[in-house]
Structure 1
Amino acid sequence: MNGNSTNGHTNGHNGTNGKAKIDINMPIAITGISTRFPGGADTPEALWRMISKGKSAWSKVPEDRFALDAFYHPDPDRNGAMNVAGGHFLDEDIASFDAPFFGISRNEAKAMDPQQRLQLESAYEALENAGISIDQASGTKTSVHIGVFNKDYADIMCRDPETGPLYQATGNGQSILSNRISYFFNLKGPSVTVDTACSSSLVGLHLAVQGLRMGEVEQAIVGGTNLIFSPDIMVAMSLLGFLSPDGRAYAFDHRAKGYARGGGIATLVLKPLDKAVRDGDPIRAVIRGTGVNSDGRTAGITLPNGDAQAELIREVYTNADLDPAETGYFEAHGTGTQAGDPMEAGAIHRVFTADRQRSSPLYLGSIKTNIGHLEGASGLAGVVKAVLCLEKGQIPPNINFEKQNERLDLEAWNIKVPTELTQWPADVPRRASVNSFGYGGTNAHVVLDGYDATQHEMRTIDTDIDQRLFVFSAGHQEAASSLFTRMASYLRDIPTSNHARLLQQLAYTLSQRRSQLSHRMAISASSIAELIDTLENGKLTLVKSQRVSRLGLVFTGQGAQTAQMGVGLMYQYGVFADSLNLAGAALKNIGCTWDLVEELSKDAETSLVNEPLYSQPLCTAVQIALVDLLRSWDVQPTAVTGHSSGEIAAAYAAGALSHEAAMIAAYYRGVASSKLAADSSVNGGMAAVGLSPDEVQGYLAKLTSGKLVIACYNAPYNVTLSGDIPALDELESLLQDTGVFFRRLKVPVAYHSHHMQQIAEVYRKSLESLPRPEASDSDVQFFSSVTGTLTPISELNAEYWVRNMTSPVQFTSSLKSMCLGLKSDGKRLTRGNKMNVQMLVEVGPHSALAGPIKSILKDPSFSSKAQLPYTSCLVRKQDPLSAVQKAAGDLFMNGYAVNLAHINEPIDGPCPRVLSDLPPYSWNHSQRYWHESRISKNYRLRDQPRKDLIGAPASDWNPTEPRWRGFIRLSELPWIKVTR
């Protein structure tokens, strides 16, 4: 999986230097959040929509998890049965997994606990949400702490040990839950799986915070996982009386009868606040304090200890030097049990409300009423809810609350359970507490503060950017539809007033703060409306990246020029404008009487761009400016070639000519050509002909009215002829009825013909002051269209440029030599069939060489697999910003490491804000991975419950030999007892 990124985001790379600094009260930022919760709450935003509206994710047990009817019985004391009617389950197919994304084989994926699989995906989503790419995370001292409780998949496999898969040990090892994340992302910090039952994930968060504050790590991934698809633990907990019979949570309500199970995954990314601010990370909330303790000895190992809970909370606040009276909301463990709720609420009262103003009650809630008790992930579920409350400044209703538990006195305790969406109290800071308790007595607590981004928000530089490049990527082609649809939907929901800022933030987030994966798309747009339209109607597909690193630049010759070519780039890219100004200054220094930028800016009616005196230097100046712009984007060629006068800018790109020298060569070429055009005694012209060189020679031999020569070998069946006008007229007549393509070129002189000999000496003398090529550290290969071969840049002297004007253009040979890496002796620069360049970029006013290039690449000497990607910097009648950004997008899509930051933010300054609410990655869940024996399936999905006398169908049975297994218990069947 290719996850390269081009920005300089540090994320604390590569460990700490020297002795780590310990700060026991260091504020810790939550920078990334991922949720996979019941009720379709697969993003924090979706979760907020659900809980803010007081919705419940309760449902019956999905049929693919286990057969509820076969295990349900209303008697909680009945062995092998459960008295639970439903719960809270993930909507998605838990067998589906994007194994190829993580480089996991089908056999290994089938052996992996779905909790491992979804936790991997969730970890990626959390890093993505934090603006951390795969490459940025790799090698960092990042810890991983994953909370877990259940192991349903292991239970399924152990039901029939003889059928276990090869990778069962690693696929179901609890330690691998965290280790696999560290392995895939190449993370070097501690990797720890935590099982303290229902407090696991909050204990994991505490351990992560400790590591950050001790300086042991630089960032942390904290996760929690809980999936329900085996009846066994439901049966066991039902027998202990833990579970709510209807599967709903009634936290603090008089109907509380037990907790409601829920399945889900949550992951957070943590980082010291000062480093998160430094790196421009999204900051969702700030952890002010954490703590963990144990109940010790109680009346029973599963019975809570209110004093221990109160002591823990008080200790966390004391250590953080915080006043409990300033906390506005408390996200309780709140399982909805008769013993637990009063104990917890009493402990909260003792810590928080003794000195509290009566006008400012403490709001109390529990997300378990919405999504159930996620057990191993429940602590983080509470944290995510609290973070959203802090961000939104609102407290959601606590559903399933109609009347308080009779053992509570919330009014006297100054505690309020909200039953509607409530604004955050105005008289207290945005601070929240979160509890999470394990059924064995391990308690965890965290204090969170809201974060005011305006304190540290980096000022956005007004760069007058009119157009930006938006990049998208995935690990598979199938993501395209979902990726583009979800993004368009997201953009439609953005208020119009935020569009300008959003464009900048979106381009930055997509290009700099997300992994750049193997299948790519890039879109240039100047508005949200344009971007939405392209996403919805552009018939987009993701392009498989080729990981291009070797570029060939091809420079257009004369004839492609247009008025105002590329001039729009001046207003967005200072590099381009500076280059043109430098070109203009170079012309002034040699006595040019007209202003280059002024002439370039003229419209079609007033422009003199088609006159040789102007066209030569204008084209070269634009090409050099494009080279400079590409360099600013880290686009560096391996090789260059040029068509005719395009060789001047190609020589600049290769380091053979300075900017000034290139402009001198172009200017005097234009001066000489204009003198020839003004000579009325010379009547010359040019035409493009669709014949091969050999074929055209037969026609040239028949001419009697003048002389024509092949001026340009453009492609195997495309030549340009140059010479006397009468001869052109005669040839046109000869070809008139043959169907052969013939088109006159709008040029005033016969370039690359005998006509040019008349000005050769004039041009030669003009170049006497041209600086000779100096030794250069450039390793760019120059393939000459004068010789058609690789040419040392030391040979590009004044005499060479005269030959460039007078000799035929051997473009077919030069392009072929560049692509294949042919030296002048015919030997190759590269071994085997490896291409010398992997992609071609045309640099000029128009994509004039696109057709010839395509034709040349069809030559039999090229492998059928060697069709090189092609793009052009500018295209006639196309907005120059769109065109050049499309070229950059083509480079990106083909895997070239173009500097996207410099494309979208050409002026150095603070980075835009990372968008933390973008749609998460679109996983490829088209494949299911599941390993289960017939015996296990017969048990888990059996279609009949246990009967009183014969029991339940045996797991190892078949329809032709049915077998039943059961126990006769007097406690269940008292009527069979014989009275003596």
Structure 2
Amino acid sequence: MNTEPIAIIGMGCRFPKAPNPDAFWEMLEAGVDAITEAPARWDVDALYHPLPRTPGRMCTRWGGFLEDVDGFDPLFFRIMPSRAGRIDPQHRLVLEVAWEALEHAGIDATGLAGSATGVFIGISHSDHDRLLYQDRLGIDGHNGPNTYHCFAANRLSYFLNVRGPSMAVDTACSSSLVAVHLACQSLRSGETDLALAGGVNLNLTPEEFVALSFLGVLSADGRCKTFDARADGYGRGEGCGIVVLKRLADALAARDAVLAVIRGSAVNHGGLSNGITAPNGAAQQEVLRRALAAAAVDPDRVSLVEAMGTGTGLGDQIEMAALKAVYMKNRAPDQPLWIGAVKTNIGHLEAASGMASLIKVVLALQHRRIPPHLHLRQLNPRITLDGTSFAIPTRSEPWHPPSGGRLAAVSAFGFGGTNAHMIVEEAPGAEPLVPGVDRPLHVLTLSARTPGALADLARRYLTFVRTHPSLSIADACFTANVGRTHFDHRLAVVTRTTAQLSEQLEAFVREVAMPGLFRGQAGRNRPRLAFVFPARAHHGMARQLYATQPAFRRAFDSCVEGVPVIDEDARIFSIEYALAALWKSWGVEPDVVVGDGPGEYVAACVAGDFTARDGLRLLLGGAATRGGLDTARATDSLSRQRVDFLVTAGASESGDDWTALLNAVAALYVRGAPIDWASFDGEYPRRRLQLPTYPFQRRPCRISNTD
């Protein structure tokens, strides 16, 4: 069995009262109850009846609901607004949350095109399907792709243009955790190199509430009172969660931010039991043991279990008995096992419930705290914790590391008998970065599909910078530059500190001009560039570049190596040639070159007429003309060649050469010039950070809005 550990490197979520992972953690840590009365999707008063099994009625008017489930940004995903309303909102939610998860991981989605990236989405029902087919005359050939479960995954693979496995997984309540299990297997087999795995669930119509009320499994107040004596069923919830997965070795090699590690998992079925929907305790024990074996972890090393915990008296009792049978083995009295259930906060998200549990555990590992389990007043009399070291946290608790580090387990048991269990470990400690000489200024790039989205994104970054004053400006700029797709509407900020960046972003948001701010729109064609090599160079700048820019240093050394006497012309030549090499290492290639004095020889070398060594030899063997570059003539000549931008490889007139150099980078970027941001910071010890994600410009997309 291949037991290679799998890294979780990014997460995205939309849960009740929690639009992203940071908000989700704040809610969990504060012990927030996110259950509310049902929004105006149906006539609650007409459909509610307090007695279960009342024909045509639901026994609860409560649940965990998302706001604005009709909202979507169709143009971002290249979908016609007139068609978007007919697409299942669950599919649309997967698109948005998957994009946020990729950005959370610091991955430019365009770089995934053609890759072996897999998509595994847990989804088990579609209320939208019912709505769409009510109008038989409105049925067309798009209805299938708009509602079939497979398209929740397939549409995402299509949009990203990825070639790995793409599948919907339906095992009811365990769907999303099974999806993660399958994604891990795909990564371990080499079938995929990156995987997006998760689940989605939206409750758009009342029919399932009516059916579940008849089944007698819904809580009257819409709350999961897991392990409590008052447990009377579960409250339905909705949401979407997606994680980005990589083999741990690959994630570490790429210096990804590892959030947690999946050590192992297992899936089984309950087989023949008291009924197809009845839990089977023996099968639960089996899947727990198999997951521990797959992870090569002894049960006493696990210190937190995120339980299925639906809040049914019998189900809670069977689950707790299974946990005792497996996790008490060899456990010393001073080795506590915390047990909780996120369903007490947000309800049972059904097909997406496993993702809520998994993301909760990852956040707890990151923050090293165990959030409170709600609604526990008196333990279910069928459950006893006597003789165990089990504990249910009713307040936020510090997660003290046991020997061997923090390990958690996550359970998800399906309505039809499919069980999943997963062992998750805290991320390995990041290797210390060796500090070196860094550049004094940095460039932050932001971009969006529309001007309004760009302004919203800048506001998000402004808030983020203000609330993270100790933020590494170098790492933040690196992550924003390499870990985001670059759209046409662009902002570039040349900055030195987080305080300065905050001022600059505020100026942009207020539409006030400020040094270091560059805004522009990339066109269909990249701007034509000219490299200009003047007759003089700035030696102070050259010393800084030589100390901080390896590409500059290598090019400079290649010029002067073996030269017996380095005079002023040779220095100018070597500096300007090294500057050209630096620009090229950043992905900036000239369409035209022009030079004066020693710069003429540099221009000829950059144009490919001869090598740098030959150019320097010719320069030293003759006399470089120093009549001064005729700027007017040069500009006229470049204008005739339709040059849009000049890059001068020489001294800045202002004397602030670093500012001039990075201002040129920023100005080129906002005009649409391709910058290789990975190379721009490639030889510095940078880390990816979790930065603000794209602000989708959501609009109402309903069936009634379609053509």
Q: Same fold (TM over 0.5)?
A: yes
Partner of 2:676: 899
Partner of 2:514: none
Q: 1:123 aligns with which of 98, 104, 120?
A: 98
Which structure 2 residues correspond to residues 589-668 of structure 1 after superposition, within 5 A? 589=565, 596=568, 623-641=576-594, 649-656=602-609
Deviation at 1:806, TM superposition (A): 11
Partner of 2:42: 66
Alpha-carbon separation, structure 1, partners of 2:571 and 2:287: 75
Deviation at 1:473, TM superposition (A): 2.1
Alpha-carbon separation, structure 2, partners of 1:565 and 1:426: 50
Indicate whether 1:493 and 2:467 are aligned: yes
Deviation at 1:438, TM superposition (A): 1.3
Letter paired with 1:87: G
SS of aligned partner of 1:199: helix
| 1:583 to 1:319, Cα distance in 2 relative to 1, 3 A | closer
Which structure 2 residues correspond to residues 838-917 of structure 1 after superposition, within 5 A? 839-843=644-648, 874=652, 876-877=653-654, 879-905=656-682, 908=683, 911-915=685-689, 917=690
SS of aligned partner of 1:913: coil
| 1:192 to 1:644, Cα distance in 2 relative to 1, 3 A | same
Q: Is the contact made by 1:469 and 1:904 (CA closer than 8 Å) also made in structure 2?
A: no
Letter paired with 2:465: L
1:399-423: per-residue Cα shift (whole Å, max 9, x none)?
Answer: 1111111111123343211011112
Indicate whether 1:453 and 2:258 are aligned: no
Alpha-carbon separation, structure 2, partners of 1:332 and 1:542: 50
Partner of 1:314: 289
SS of aligned partner of 2:3: coil
Letter paired with 2:549: Y
Partner of 2:394: 419
Letter paired with 2:438: D
Indicate whether 1:511 and 2:481 are aligned: yes
Q: 2:3 aligns with which of 9, 22, 25?
A: 25
Letter paired with 1:227: L
Deviation at 1:254, TM superposition (A): 1.2
Partner of 1:46: 23
Deviation at 1:573, TM superposition (A): 3.1
Alpha-carbon separation, structure 2, partners of 1:379 and 1:423: 24
TM-score normalized by the length of structure 2? 0.91
Partner of 2:439: 465
Deviation at 1:924, TM superposition (A): 1.8
Q: Is the contact made by 2:530 and 2:638 (CA closer than 8 Å) also made in structure 1?
A: no
Which structure 2 residues correspond to residues 372-771 of structure 1 after superposition, within 5 A? 372-428=347-403, 429-454=405-430, 457=431, 459-494=433-468, 496=470, 499=471, 502-538=472-508, 539=511, 543-546=520-523, 548-549=525-526, 551-553=528-530, 555=532, 569-573=545-549, 575-576=551-552, 589=565, 596=568, 623-641=576-594, 649-656=602-609, 769-770=621-622
Q: Is the contact made by 1:642 and 1:811 (CA closer than 8 Å) also made in structure 2?
A: no
Alpha-carbon separation, structure 1, partners of 2:672 and 2:484: 15
Partner of 2:126: 151
User: Which is greater in Rg?
Assistant: 1
SS of aligned partner of 2:7: strand
Letter paired with 2:142: Y
| 1:629 to 1:318, Cα distance in 2 relative to 1, 3 A | closer
Q: 1:928 aligns with which of 697, 700, 703?
A: 700
Q: Is the contact made by 1:280 and 1:458 (CA closer than 8 Å) also made in structure 2?
A: no
| 1:655 to 1:143, Cα distance in 2 relative to 1, 3 A | closer
Letter paired with 1:477: P
Partner of 1:736: none
| 1:565 to 1:512, Cα distance in 2 relative to 1, 3 A | closer
Partner of 1:858: none
Q: Is the contact made by 1:568 and 1:880 (CA closer than 8 Å) also made in structure 2?
A: no
State the identity as a percent.
Answer: 35
| 1:294 to 1:554, Cα distance in 2 relative to 1, 3 A | closer
| 1:208 to 1:562, Cα distance in 2 relative to 1, 3 A | closer
Partner of 2:639: 816
Letter paired with 2:677: L
Letter paired with 2:64: H
Q: Gaps (5+ residues) in structure 1? A: 1-22, 597-615, 667-766, 772-797, 820-836, 847-873, 935-980
| 1:897 to 1:808, Cα distance in 2 relative to 1, 3 A | closer
| 1:78 to 1:170, Cα distance in 2 relative to 1, 3 A | same
Deviation at 1:570, TM superposition (A): 5.0
Partner of 2:58: 82
Alpha-carbon separation, structure 1, partners of 2:412 and 2:394: 22
Alpha-carbon separation, structure 2, partners of 1:153 and 1:806: 69
Larger deviation, residues 648-657 vs 182-191: 648-657
Partner of 2:33: 56
SS of aligned partner of 1:309: helix
TM-score normalized by the length of structure 1? 0.66
Q: Gaps (5+ residues) in structure 2? A: 512-516
SS of aligned partner of 1:466: coil
Deviation at 1:87, TM superposition (A): 1.1
Deviation at 1:494, TM superposition (A): 2.6
Letter paired with 1:231: P
Alpha-carbon separation, structure 2, partners of 1:425 and 1:807: 71
Letter paired with 1:912: R
Q: Is the contact made by 2:8 and 2:244 (CA closer than 8 Å) also made in structure 1?
A: yes
Q: Is the contact made by 1:36 and 1:266 (CA closer than 8 Å) also made in structure 2?
A: yes
Letter paired with 1:914: R
- Does 1 or 2 have the higher relative contact order (CA < 8 Å, sep 6+)? 2
Q: Is the contact made by 2:529 and 2:589 (CA closer than 8 Å) also made in structure 1?
A: no
Alpha-carbon separation, structure 2, partners of 1:913 and 1:279: 10
Alpha-carbon separation, structure 2, partners of 1:318 and 1:813: 74
Alpha-carbon separation, structure 2, partners of 1:885 and 1:160: 58
Alpha-carbon separation, structure 2, partners of 1:209 and 1:141: 14
Q: Is the contact made by 1:247 and 1:259 (CA closer than 8 Å) also made in structure 2?
A: yes
Q: Is the contact made by 1:550 and 1:638 (CA closer than 8 Å) also made in structure 2?
A: no
Alpha-carbon separation, structure 1, partners of 2:244 and 2:587: 31
Alpha-carbon separation, structure 2, partners of 1:806 and 1:319: 71
| 1:349 to 1:617, Cα distance in 2 relative to 1, 3 A | closer
Alpha-carbon separation, structure 1, partners of 2:537 and 2:244: 53
Q: Is the contact made by 1:556 and 1:843 (CA closer than 8 Å) also made in structure 2?
A: yes
Letter paired with 1:481: A
